[in-house]
Amino acid sequence: MSDALVPGDPERLGRYELIGRLGSGGMGQVYLGRSPGGRLVAVKTVHEHLAADPHFRERFRREAAAARSVTGVYTAPVVDADPDSPMPWLATAYLPGVTLRQAVVAAGPLGPGAVRALGGALAEALRSIHAAGLVHRDLKPSNLLVTGDGPRVIDFGIARLVSAHALTETGDIIGTPGYMAPEQITGDMQVTAAADVFALGAVLAYAASGRGPFGGGGAAALLYRVVHDEPDLIEVPEAGGLRELIAECLHKSPERRPGPVEVLRRTADRNPPLWWRAEPLRSLVSGVADAVPEPGPTVVVPTAVDESARDAARRAVRRRELTRRGLLLGGGGGLVALLAYAVGRTSGPAGERSTGPAWELKKGSTGPGALRWTLSAGSGTLDAMLVTAGGILLHGTEDSVSTDGTVQFRTTAGGARRWAVDSLAEAPTAWGVVDGVLTAGDLGLKALDLTTGKRRTPVEKGLLTPLWFTVSGSTLVTLSQDGSGENLLRGTSLKTGQRLWQRKEDDEWPRPAVAGDALLFTDGYDEQECVFADDGTVRWRYSGVGKGDQVAAVGALPPDRFAVLTTGRVLHLVDVRDGRRISARELEVPVAPGATAFARADNTGLLLSGERLYGLDPDAGTVRWSRPALGLDACWAPRPGGDRSPVLAGGHLLHWAADGRTLEALDPATGRQRWRRELGDGPAQCPPAVAGSTVYAAAGRKCTALRLSDGVPLRDDWTLDGTITGLAADASGWYARIGRGSVVAVNGIAAASRDR
């Protein structure tokens, strides 16, 4: 395959210059790219026919967002993505190394101590991936990168994304024979995180013996053996219980396999060997790192490692596998192996006043329904928008060279900038405003006073890495990691800015569910813990989740219930006050970890999972009604901390139907349709917005104003220059983000028009 871009291919995506094509696969093309600062990245684009599918685009959006939230030591997150681009793409940093398959082929099987250390690293990686609501589905030796800093799991979330689309469209099985769990092959049960544990066992067997546990041969033979035969582990050492552990991971029944936490416990070592730094692997990895092309006008693709690395490895005759593609991205397994993920993020000091060039502001008209102002990013980006009392918050980069992002607070009346601070150069997924305070821990910012942009929380001592934050009442609850790797759970008052409480945590808890002043934490398995937000004390613990089952989502339902939904489709309702189990029953609902959320609507519970919306009885835990829906990101609006909530107004539940073009108003209690309108010229990418008695809904490039009571269109001739990717409204009109290039403010329609 040629290194040059083929005619018609883009020369730039976002702020990345494309300097060579690396490969292609089921999802699209992969290019070698370069950031303005000279950082090499792999840019993965989506095929045109997939980009045209609103459901695939929705899945791409949430999988990329979830992958960016994975923070484990042995994983490497996505560094940038644009799911709203006409050609959706994501970028990952270049990480020099070789795959585990290449390492074993070139240097032979790993020793028992190294295999145990590898098992602990993979278990820790899976715990981080599962905590983000992802299931890898394609863990295998060619999706494990051995670098100078140790092993890294690549392609988490993306394999699930391809799998979800292919299974929907063709019924094919997606995965790698010999590493797929039996339930992935037979399709007779839900594929859960336990499938990744099966793959972990198969990978460790390969690392320890140099062969897969189900032998070789064609795909059909391998699939048959995985389902019907026991694994062949005769060459796996028994030392330290290694063979026993691998056999348990490879159990046919998902519920009989150990979880990642159990694997971590059984592979724990106070002084684990740094096996990737021992010869011959050290020279093998360093030989690849030395061959990394320096950023420049052209890409020089090496065809072999240097002579010293060749001599150090004992199997020189088999080193031909380190070909052009392997050297560039450490991949040998098709498209999924092309992506090597970075560990860190480049950023300047967060919270300092921005001095970069301003985005271009153009004034408009004050007439009803007229364009009030436009803010264009020029060579920068505008990737997030949040309308709040007194102004509009925007996030992006101010030019194509900047490695820092900027948060700006501007007036809604004229778009004038009131203050700006620097942030990490990533779009926020969890920011929000509570009591006049901006919470944006995902941007590396402390809580800021909305009026002045000044810090509202204490100055921290030492380096802290924020893992997540959430808001309960006026309390900001955060989990951070200090320089020594300790997890710190804290509560801070947003009213006074004072620290309320702090405690150290052994576990890296995922973000909790919030119900009033109560927070429900889960380890993803059988440990659920309720904590007071105002003082950090433990209120109660719930251990009703069955052994072997895993938690897919937690949330709050009316009037005072926590909801715990497992991957086995069992819904547990727990009393917020005392942890008493109210009900636990299996539901006939699809479970989509990372794309599932609960909410309240008067006396009805709501569940949006995958592409279906459900009304729940909050006492019996049964389904009252269900309807197809476009998906979580397009239907439910973001809230501070990363939660999402349905659009409820005037007694209506507003959501996009599965086609992405039809807006429905439902009775939340019964699911009965009150009105529906087909709108726009393309699939919706953001929830509708409500201001008073007017609903604004955007699909494609078109925005329509409708009367809330009956859905009658009040104005439908607003067509913008690009796809509307964000929408908000207030008493003076509506605001739209167009792609990542601009934001427009449009005046509301006249009162006479609304009343007609």
Please identify every residue annotated as catalytic: 138
Q: How far apart are CA 654 and CA 648, in angstroms?
A: 6
Contact 407/394 with Cβ under 8 angstroms? yes
**Under the phi-then-psi rule, with left for phi > 0, alpha for psi from -120 to 50, and beta for the rest, what region is 178?**
left
Question: Residue holding tokens 């052009």?
Answer: 324
Contact 561/573 with Cβ under 8 angstroms? yes
With 0-12 / 13-18 / 19 or more C-beta atoms within 10 angstroms meaning exposed / middle / buried, residue 607 is buried
Contact 682/699 with Cβ under 8 angstroms? yes
Q: How far apart are CA 712 and CA 754, in angstroms?
A: 10
Question: What are φ and ψ of residue 629, in 5° steps?
Answer: -145, 155
Contact 512/520 with Cβ under 8 angstroms? yes
Q: How far apart are CA 46 and CA 155, in angstroms?
A: 15
Residues 6+ positions from 29 with CB-CB distance below 8 Å: 9, 21, 23, 44, 45
Q: How far apart are CA 665 and CA 659, in angstroms?
A: 15
Give me the helices (H) in 90-157, please.
Answer: 100-107, 112-131
Q: How far is CA 465 from the centre of its chain?
A: 18
Task: Indicate the helix (H) or strand (E) that contains 504.
Answer: strand 499-505
As beta bridge partners, residue 649 has 652
Q: How far apart are CA 699 and CA 400, in angstroms?
A: 29
Question: Residue holding tokens 């189990």?
Answer: 581
Contact 726/720 with Cβ under 8 angstroms? no
